[in-house]
Structure 1
């Protein structure tokens, strides 16, 4: 049985930087970003702690393909994705924390 995956977009408090990633464990990965587990990472450097978008998939491969598609788009396309599901750009951490 294949493990599922998720693609996500995170930002900083001013929404000036967008970070797109993929993971097999969204809760763990977002927690790592929030706590600054890797102090030398891009997300720590730019204080990217706010989860504003995510999509879940049945397989990691599907999530990777979606990540490539999202990363291939410009910022405006990413903002459009976020605005569809999260128009107020709220931190979705509380939503996934309940999983």
Structure 2
């Protein structure tokens, strides 16, 4: 069964941020990391997984994604630094 996640990827510490939602988290993060999909994250080099959150349903995940996207940058940075104060790439935790 697929598990919904909301996540943030960054170009670098305090760099460009992207908020996403997916039901295939390892695959989607790998795609960002390797620049496999054209779009915002590839254009701006958002390849570091810096924050993520698991959800029970895709509806909950999409609602949370919209909430995060509606917030300002300071709120996004606070989310990241609450889980990952060093802005380390969390991709290795997935494998």
Bin for the TM-score computed over the shorter chain: over 0.9
Q: Distance in 2 between matches of 1:16 and 1:5?
A: 25
Aligned residue-pair number: 95
The TM-score normalised by the length of structure 2 is: 0.93
Task: Provide runs of 4+ in structure 1 moved above 4 Å.
Answer: none
The answer to whether the 8 Å contact 2:2/2:24 transfers is: no
Calculate the TM-score normalised by the size of structure 1.
0.90
Instruction: Give 1:93's aligned residue.
Output: 91
Within 5 A, what are the aligned runs for 1:33-48? 33-38=32-37, 40-48=38-46
Q: For residue 29 of structure 1, report the CA deviation from its aligned partner.
A: 0.2
Measured after TM superposition, the shift of residue 58 of structure 1 is 1.2
Give, in angstroms, the shift of residue 28 of structure 1: 0.4
Counterpart Cα distance in 1 of 2:63 and 2:54: 12
Equivalence for 1:70: 68
2:17 corresponds to which residue? 18
Secondary structure of the residue aligned to 1:37 is: coil
**1:49 paired residue among 30, 40, 47:** 47
My pick for the range that moved more, 7-16 or 20-29, is 7-16
Kept in 2: contact 1:7–1:63 (CA 8 A): yes
- Provide the aligned C-alpha RMSD in A: 1.3
Extract unaligned runs of 5+ from structure 2.
Answer: none
